[in-house]
Amino acid sequence: MHAWLLPEAVEDLLPEEARRIEMLRRRLLDECERWGYRLVMPPLIEFVESLLGEADDDLDLATFKLVDQISGRTLALRADITPQVARIDAHLLNRQGVARLCYCGSVVRTRPADLFSTREPLQLGAELYGHAGLEADHEIIRLLARILELAGISSPLLDIGHVGIFRALTGGLALTHEIEEALYAALQAKDRPALAELTQDFPEPARTGLRMLPDFYGGAEVIRGAAACLPALPEIHRALGDLQRLAGELADLSLSFDLADLRGYHYHNGVVFAAYAGANAGPVALGGRYDGAAARFGRVRAATGFSLDLRLLARRFEAKEKAMAILAPWPEDEGLRKRIEALRAEGNIVLVALPGDVACRADCDRRLVRRGEEWIIEPFEGD
C-alpha cells in the first residue's frame, strides 16, 4: 500500500479546482452577507450529544466518533453543520427576533452517499431563525435561487414539498420507528405497492391520504388537486395554503411540487425543498423548515435554511481564468525588489526565477527586464 494513496471517496483538490472553489466560496458568502446573513465557524469536533439529535439514525451512522482524551467522553467529527448553527443561534447568540446566519466548512461522513459522492463535502448554507411566518421560507428559497444563479445555474428546478401533510396524516397513529422509516422510503420512491401494503391496517383518513400522496407531483395545479382530494384536516389545509402562497409569490422561479417528498423528515416540519440542475441526477441543494429542532439546546425557535456541497456546485462553475504571471529575475538589488512589490500590490502575479528553474517559464507570459536604470515589462518571446 503506497503512502500517497488516499482512502476511497476522499480527494485532494488540486490548484485549478481549489481556485475555482475558493472563488465560488467568496462569491456565495459575500452574497449571503449582503442579504444580512452573518458568517459563523463552528468547530469540526463536538460532543456527540450536541451534534446528533435523538431520532436521526442516518446522521448517527454517517458520523465518525472519537474519544476525547481530556474528558474521556465521546466526540463526533461533524457530518452536518446545520445542528451546530442551530446551537449557536439557540445558545450563544440568544438574540431576540430574527437571526440570519451562514457558514462554509468541511464535513466528513463515514461512507459516501453514493458511488459518485465524496466523503468530505464542503458544506455551505444559510439559516434563518426566529420567524415562523412563510416570509422566512420565501426568503430562504429566493436566497438559494440567487446563490445557484451566482454559481452559474440560472434556472434551477426547485422541488417543493411540505412535511406537515405527512405529519397530519400519521399524527394520531403512534407508528413505530421501523414503520415510519418504511413509509418514508416507500413515499420517497413513490412505491405504490409497498405503500398499499404498509397502510392496509391504517384507519381512515390516513390510509387513503397516504396512498394518494405520490400522485401529487407536478406544477402548481397539484396543490389544488390535493386540496380537493386529501382529507380535510386543518393541518393539511394550512400546509396546502402555504404551498399555494409560495407558488404565487415565487412564480418567476421554476417550481414543482411533490407532496411525497419528505426529504430530511427526521427534523423537518414544514416547507421543504430540493434544487436540481440540468446534468446532476441528484439535488444540488436541500433545505426546509425545522422549527424547534434546537430544543435540546434549551431554546425553541422557528428555523428554516438550506445547505449545499460547494465541491459539487463548483464543478459546473466557470471561474475566471487565472492570470499569467510576470517572471522576474532573482532580485539582487533593492530597486528590483521594490518594483516586484509594487507590481504585486497592483494585483499582478510575479514569479521570482530561482536559479536553475526553467520550468517556471510555462506560467509566465511577460517578464521584467532591465533597460538602463529602469525595470520594464516585456512580453515573453521564445529564446
Residues between 13 and 32 with contacts to a second copy, criterion CB under 8 A: 13-15, 18-19, 21-22, 26, 29, 31
Task: Tell me whether residue 12 or residue 178 sits nearer to a second copy (CB atom).
Answer: 12
Distance separating alpha carbons of residues 144 and 155, to the nearest angstrom: 11
Using an 8 Å Cβ cutoff, are 302 and 271 in contact?
no
Return the axis-axis angle of helices 134-150 and 234-249, rounded to nearest 10°.
40
Residues 6+ apart with CB under 8 A from 358: none
Task: Tell me whether residue 63 or residue 199 sits nearer to a second copy (CB atom).
Answer: 63
- What part of residues 43-72 is at the interface with a second copy (CB under 8 A)? 43-47, 49-50, 64, 66, 68-71
Q: Is 111 in the site for a second copy (CB under 8 A)?
A: yes
Q: Considering only residues 172, 356, 379, 382, which one is a binding residue for a second copy as defined by CB under 8 A?
A: 356
Mark residues 262-281: x for contact with a second copy by CB under 8 A, - for none.
--------------------
Integer-rounded Cα radius of gyration of the chain: 26
- What part of residues 362-381 is at the interface with a second copy (CB under 8 A)? 363
Distance separating alpha carbons of residues 190 and 347, to the nearest angstrom: 54
What sign for the dihedral angle of Cα 101, 105, 108, 112? positive
Q: Considering only residues 233, 349, 366, 377, which one is a binding residue for a second copy as defined by CB under 8 A?
A: 349
Return the axis-axis angle of helices 234-249 and 163-170, rounded to nearest 10°.
170
Distance separating alpha carbons of residues 203 and 182, to the nearest angstrom: 17
Nearest distance, CB of residue 267 and a second copy, angstroms: 14
Q: Give 266: exposed, middle or buried? Use CB within 10 Å, 0-12, 13-18, 19+.
A: buried
Nearest distance, CB of residue 67 and a second copy, angstroms: 9
Q: Considering only residues 184, 352, 366, 377, which one is a binding residue for a second copy as defined by CB under 8 A?
A: 352
Distance separating alpha carbons of residues 113 and 177, to the nearest angstrom: 22
Which H/E stretch holds residue 244? Answer: helix 234-249
Q: Considering only residues 57, 58, 92, 218, which one is a binding residue for a second copy as defined by CB under 8 A?
A: 92
Nearest distance, CB of residue 10 and a second copy, angstroms: 5
Using an 8 Å Cβ cutoff, are 350 and 344 in contact?
yes
Q: Which grid coordinates are listed for 277?
A: 440542475
Mark residues 300-339: x for contact with a second copy by CB under 8 A, - for none.
-------------------------x----x---------
Task: Tell me whether residue 58 or residue 221 sits nearer to a second copy (CB atom).
Answer: 58
**DSSP symbol at 340:** H
- What part of residues 148-207 is at the interface with a second copy (CB under 8 A)? none
Size of the site for a second copy (CB under 8 A): 93
Q: Considering only residues 27, 40, 152, 190, which one is a binding residue for a second copy as defined by CB under 8 A?
A: 40
Q: Is 77 in the site for a second copy (CB under 8 A)?
A: yes
